[in-house]
Chain A
Amino acid sequence: MSIELGHFSLILAFAIAVLSTVGGYAYWRSGQRIALVLRQGAVLQFVLVAVAFGALIQAFVVSDFSLALAVNNSHSLKPLIFKISGVWGNHEGSMVLWILILVAFGAMVAAFGRRLPNDLMALVLATQSLLTAAFAGFTLFTSNPFERVLPAPLEGNDLNPVLQDIGLAIHPPLLYAGYVGFSICFSFAIAALISGRIDQAWARWVRPWTMLSWTFLTLGIAMGSYWAYYELGWGGWWFWDPVENASFMPWLAGTALLHSALVMEKRNALKIWTIFLSIITFSLSLLGTFLVRSGILTSVHTFASDPTRGLVILSLLALVIGGAFFLFALRASSLRQGGLFAPVSREGALILNNLFLATAVGAVLVGTLYPLVLDALTGTSISVGAPFFNLTFGALMAPLLLVLPFGPLLAWKRADIVSAAQRLMAAAALAIFVAILVSALGGVALSLAPLGLLLGFWVAFGAVAELIDRSKLGRIPLAESWRRLVGLPRTAWSTAIGHFGVGITVLGIVSTTAWETELVTTLNPGETATLAGYTIAFDSFEQVPGPNYLSDEGRFTITAPNGSTRQTMADRRTYVASGMPTTEAAIETYGFSQLYLQLGEPLENTHVVRVWHKPYITLIWLGTILMALAGVLSLTDRKVRVGAPRRAAKPVAEPAE
């Protein structure tokens, strides 16, 4: 019964979305009435999709195996949290989650955007409804999650064991919140193009949504990376997998959008480019959805053999992106560029940031799609993997990181590069000194490692230098400096913390890449091995049954270089329903470094044990958490709070020259 209720709700949401789209585009000029209707429609869509999603969750929780989706992805013995997360651990359910987040963002605009002009509100919600209609239609007609089976089996087939992890409960919702959140920027861009209202006020409405989505996406990607790191069992944390690239490209484009919207908000410049980026960012999210959901990545050929879903998403993609760019081509030329600025200025620095980020998006996009296109056109199979991306992406990021600390220190309109360089002198000297020191201590294992360290320290110290500069530390009495520091706007803190996080992540990546050590050996209980000063003693081995798996557990005692000891357990599981094995590595954190221990297969009456020492690897994720924190901090700033504030304390605009 509740399944049918959910099915019906989704159909109803689809119908309301279609009506909102048609009504919104037809009557967007009719003022308050249509805006009100669409706002109610947006909230209603959210409520209905939430009911549909709730029905699926309920079916999974009570193990209702008359639902085909539950049969294929659940098992009555599974712990509750994995029953719930199993709802989106598959194609159909994850589409419903996608739509839920889409309508949730629409409802948020409807709820918080009361200060939006009626015409803009109507067009934004109409566009948002168009997207809902498209994806709800796709889900209902090609991948219906509400299909029943008769007779209902007694037991389900269980979820893929690799997915039975807390990671599945957190990662996809966060990732989708970021991915799909950019739809708001897209809708605002379309609304701006249709209505012709493109000004600083527009940028002020869009920027909080961009920041919110970007924050979610940052956390989502970082979480996915950490999940892969601990679950896949060999300690890799980024693979340049097409599926990863699909989420990384919107992130890069979204990062560019954050910075260009800043220029538009403060200086009324870069209008065409900001609109373009808004469209591109969400288009990349859609492309990612297409790549993941069509199965085209597994092989071009499997895609061709069952093309229904793929072709439908591809048509949606072509329609939405094509339509948006058509509109863009029609209207972009009518946009006048605003505030003027010299090449050396805050604007100039932000443009440089956008140039490198946009090029990086292009490089990752080409690298991801190239094998598919080449195979489809010429039949030649090539692989584009990590070595290609590391080289290309690294070469593009190095100059970006080099100029990054200058940006916040440059004045708007026209800046003095010499003065900025002087204010960064201490940070540069310190970065060079520390990079040399660390390289000397660690030994140069990788020729580029010192350069990478230098960039990481430079960006991190540069961010601190900006705060010191703004607080006039050392130039005025200490108490006065402190007052200035505390009194800095939250956006200034956000910039500094975000950039500091970038530096920290770079340091983590460089140090773990350059100085990771590995030990592959065979051990019997009672034997010991050493790696990087740590002594690993294999204490015992036993087989233990888990809730829905059998576990081979190895217990180890790790003695750190400082003499402290820890007990830990690594296991190898075989799942009852599928017979599939997984490994659960033992990961012990020492400071910022980790010891990663995996119990491998039995080999001639002993056990293969793999141990990695990963120096400073946690900095990678700590840096991303700092970046997300910066996003949250910026959102709490009164000037950029979601929904556009009632009044600004000071006029944000300065007269153009």
Chain B
Amino acid sequence: MIWLRALCLTLAMIAPAWAVSPDEVLPDPVLEQRARDISAGLRCLVCQNQSIDDSDADLARDLRVLVRERLVAGDSDEQVQQFLVDRYGEFVLLNPRVSNHTLLLWGAAPVLLIGGLGALWLVNRRRRYAAPELSPDEKAALDELNS
């Protein structure tokens, strides 16, 4: 895991900057907390799967500053997100929106779970009518273990 992340750091480290600096922090703590929450859901575009809140890359810093500027200008959380999506595409969102092309992604877990439960129910119903007898294999295995 850390091996690949190291690669990202290599790219980002040419001019080191670090996750949230004191000079970026907004004076209003409520606004700052909103900025942090939004940042945690935005991808550092030049990194390997890091949010801009965690990333040391310069671009991440620029985006953090941008998010704070929009908030100060009075944008709602959704407006800030939409602003970044318009600019960088949906790639910037770490939590993909539910839409046609993410239907399979969001649907996978519920479908698997419900499908699995359904299959179990079917198996159980079928088994109830099955003859509960030992097969020759089972008898042999049992004898082997008992011997």
A residues contacting B by CB (< 8 A) are 89, 160, 162-163, 167, 171, 199-201, 224, 227-228, 231-234, 236, 239-244, 247, 268, 292, 297-298, 336-338, 340, 343, 351, 355-356, 358-360, 362-363, 366-367, 370, 374, 378, 380-388, 391-392, 395-396, 520-522, 580-581, 600-601, 603, 608, 610, 648, 651-653, 655-657
Contact = CB atoms under 8 A, between A and B. Distances in A.
Given A239-B50, A581-B16, A89 B3 contact: yes
B116 interface: yes
B21 A608 contact: yes
A72 to B, nearest CB: 14
B108 A388 contact: no
Given A382-B90, A656-B138, A651 B145 contact: yes
B9 A362 contact: no
Contacts of A366: 104-105, 108-109
A220 to B, nearest CB: 10
B137 interface: yes
B116 A656 contact: no
Contacts of A610: 18-20
Contact of B5 (A228, A384, A600): A228
A383 B94 contact: yes
A653 B141 contact: yes
Contacts of B93: 382-383
B87 interface: no
A378 B127 CA distance: 44
Interface residues of B, number: 59
Contacts, number: 183
A600 B22 CA distance: 10
B10 A395 contact: no
Contacts of B51: 385-386
Contact of B145 (A201, A244, A580): A201
Interface string B50-65: 1100100000000000
Contact of B19 (A234, A239, A388, A521): A234
A629 B91 CA distance: 41
Contacts of A396: 109, 113
A241 B7 CA distance: 13
Interface string B37-78: 000110100001111001000000000000000000000000
A244 B16 CA distance: 25
B2 A651 contact: no
B29 interface: no
A610 B24 CA distance: 13
B120 A363 contact: no
Given A160-B10, A232-B5, A239-B49, A370 B138 contact: no
Contacts of B138: 199, 268, 336, 338, 656
A209 B127 CA distance: 31
A199 B141 contact: yes
Contacts of A378: 101
Given A171-B2, A224-B2, A292-B4, 16 more contacts: A200-B145, A232-B2, A242-B49, A297-B48, A336-B138, A366-B108, A374-B101, A383-B92, A384-B96, A386-B51, A387-B94, A388-B105, A391-B95, A395-B109, A610-B19, A657-B132
B82 interface: no
17 contacts: A160-B10, A163-B2, A163-B3, A227-B2, A228-B1, A232-B5, A243-B5, A292-B3, A359-B116, A381-B89, A381-B90, A386-B40, A391-B95, A520-B20, A520-B22, A601-B21, A651-B145
Contacts of B31: none
Contacts of A608: 18, 21-22
Given A297-B4, A520-B21, A359 B142 contact: no
Nearest to B91: A381
Contact of B22 (A232, A370, A522): A522
A240 B49 contact: yes
